């Protein structure tokens, strides 16, 4: 499949947002070493603009980008490292945000609306800056129009700038203007070091060393010894209901979809990857702390507002014990989601940043995108038909799993996994058990 790139245009704030060049500090959550990556993802839109059937997606999106950048001007800045290794944002007059214009000579229907994002060519639907470029230009967009008139909005955004919810505030602001609003509804709030800065002095009351490792020589995102494959699986609500009913029968306790399915997938991953039985394995997920932290973060806060939460066990325990016990581990980990955990995590970053903080080895990352608002971004074509990541390094896991929303017309949701090529056949066998209700 050929993606034809017409060119790249730089877009600037429509009016000058500041009088002097300046530096904006980032929070310790923004500076988490595990987030020192550019995250790339796609939104896929149908062909018909409800109010203007002949509208050009590139023109519509870029026409509202400049006014939105007046409030979100930090997206035009450059990330630079301080002497202590932490990032800060340099904002200068004349900086802008690049947007790539591209096209594909086929219909979205012919490629299944990208519901199965395993094809290599989809990597070309979003900008892919190298390491240095991603710091100099931390935000880039791409609009790729298909022959049917449908299009894909590709994003490449350095994770130090914001998380998924923060990025959605930006895109929803653009979308509001595209649908005819005269001003954005939610003003962005930057005040990152005040709202999420360390205490003075730092106080690490939660035992962070039980789940985090200090080793500046270790990188969770180092090159793997074999290819990592991206695969999507469907999860029907019926299958999930039966799994949760099975867990109730076995344990007498109720579990959420995230806990139940997470336990099933974690066990399947450990088994398929043939991890040594005595190896410590971790289940990590990012949880939104905007309302957890005290005082709560303002609604317009668009920096990183999530912290990693861990469950851990020995590999053979995951494989040999009843699956409800794994679900219980995940359930109990939610008890960590407190203001004290957040403050201790920030203070731990303050005290130990230069030592290199990671989750260690054999970390399975799980991220639920179903409720982040990704699907609500409507530029006039309705919400996206499909939303999915094409990056995989996140929360210290080189092989993460994403829970992704289907369109409203479809039952259930999608699970996107990343696994080493040799583990894929065995993992598929495990996923068959979900649809056939073989949960033991």
**pLDDT tens digits, 83-120:** 999 999 999 999 999 999 999 999 999 998 887 777 88
pLDDT number for residue 409: 47
Q: How far is CA 321 from CA 309, 324, 406, in A?
A: 22, 8, 32
Q: Strands 386-389, 363-368: parallel, antiparallel or unpaired by DSSP?
A: unpaired
Name the least confident of 7-16, 191-200, 218-227, 262-271: 218-227
The whole-number pLDDT of residue 407 equals 56
* Model pLDDT, residue 135: 97
Residue 365 has φ and ψ, to the nearest 5°, of -90, 140
CA–CA gap between residue 343 and residue 205 (Å, rounded): 9
What pLDDT does 224 receive?
80
Residue 128 has pLDDT above 50, yes or no: yes
Does the global pTM surpass 0.85?
yes
Q: Across the chain, which distance is largest between two alpha carbons, in Å?
A: 65
Mean pLDDT of 295-318: 96
Across the range 117-139, mean pLDDT stands at 92
Helix 323-333 vs helix 237-251: crossing angle, to nearest 10: 100
Residue 212 backbone phi and psi in degrees, to 5: -110, 150
DSSP β-ladder status, 228-235 and 413-420: antiparallel
Query: Which of 245, 3, 235 minimizes the C-alpha distance to 105?
Result: 3
Quick one: pLDDT at residue 410?
64
What pLDDT was estimated at residue 289?
96
Which of the four pLDDT bands, split at 50, 70 and 90, describes residue 405? confident
Structural domains of the chain, with CATH: 3-192 (3.30.559.10), 208-435 (3.30.559.10)
pLDDT of residue 223: 80
Distance CA 313, CA 316 (A): 8
How far apart are alpha carbons 192 and 89 in whole angstroms? Answer: 12
């Amino acid at each position: 499949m050929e993606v034809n790139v017409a060119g790249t245009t730089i877009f600037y704030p429509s009016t000058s947002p500041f009088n002097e060049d300046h530096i904006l500090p980032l929070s310790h959550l923004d500076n988490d070493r595990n987030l020192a990556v550019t995250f790339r993802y796609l939104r896929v839109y149908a062909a018909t603009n409800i109010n203007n059937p002949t509208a050009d997606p590139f023109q519509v999106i870029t026409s509202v980008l400049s006014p939105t950048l007046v409030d979100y001007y930090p997206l035009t800045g450059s990330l630079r490292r301080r002497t202590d290794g932490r990032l800060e944002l340099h904002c200068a007059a004349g900086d802008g945000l690049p947007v790539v214009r591209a096209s594909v000579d086929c219909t979205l229907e012919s490629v299944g609306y990208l519901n199965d994002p395993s094809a290599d060519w989809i990597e070309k639907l979003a900008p892919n800056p190298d390491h240095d470029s991603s710091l100099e230009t931390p935000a880039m967009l791409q609009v790729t129009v298909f022959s049917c008139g449908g299009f894909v909005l590709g994003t490449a955004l350095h994770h130090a700038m914001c998380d998924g919810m923060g990025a959605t505030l930006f895109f929803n602001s653009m979308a509001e203007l595209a649908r005819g609003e005269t001003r954005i509804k939610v003003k962005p709030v930057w005040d990152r070091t005040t709202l999420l800065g360390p205490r003075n002095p730092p106080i690490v009351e939660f035992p962070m060393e039980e789940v985090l490792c200090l080793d500046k020589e270790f990188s969770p995102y180092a090159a793997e010894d074999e290819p990592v494959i991206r695969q999507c699986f469907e999860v029907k609500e019926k299958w999930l209901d039966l799994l949760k009913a099975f867990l109730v029968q076995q344990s007498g306790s109720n579990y959420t979809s995230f806990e139940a399915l997470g336990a099933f997938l974690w066990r399947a991953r450990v088994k398929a990857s043939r991890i040594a039985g005595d190896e410590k394995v971790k289940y990590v997920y990012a949880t939104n702390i905007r309302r957890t932290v005290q005082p709560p973060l303002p609604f317009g806060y668009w920096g990183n507002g999530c912290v990693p939460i861990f469950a851990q066990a020995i590999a053979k325990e995951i494989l040999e014990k009843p699956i409800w016990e794994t679900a219980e581990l995940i359930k109990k980990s939610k008890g960590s989601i407190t203001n004290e955990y957040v403050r201790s995590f920030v203070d731990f970053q303050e005290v130990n940043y230069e030592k290199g903080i990671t989750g260690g080895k054999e970390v399975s990352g799980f991220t639920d995108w179903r409720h982040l608002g990704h699907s609500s971004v409507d530029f006039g074509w309705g919400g996206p038909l499909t939303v999915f990541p094409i990056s995989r390094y996140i929360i210290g896991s080189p092989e993460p799993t994403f829970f992704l929303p289907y369109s409203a017309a479809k039952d259930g949701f999608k699970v996107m996994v990343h696994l080493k090529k040799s583990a894929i056949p065995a993992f598929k066998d495990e996923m068959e058990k979900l649809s056939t209700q073989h949960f033991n």
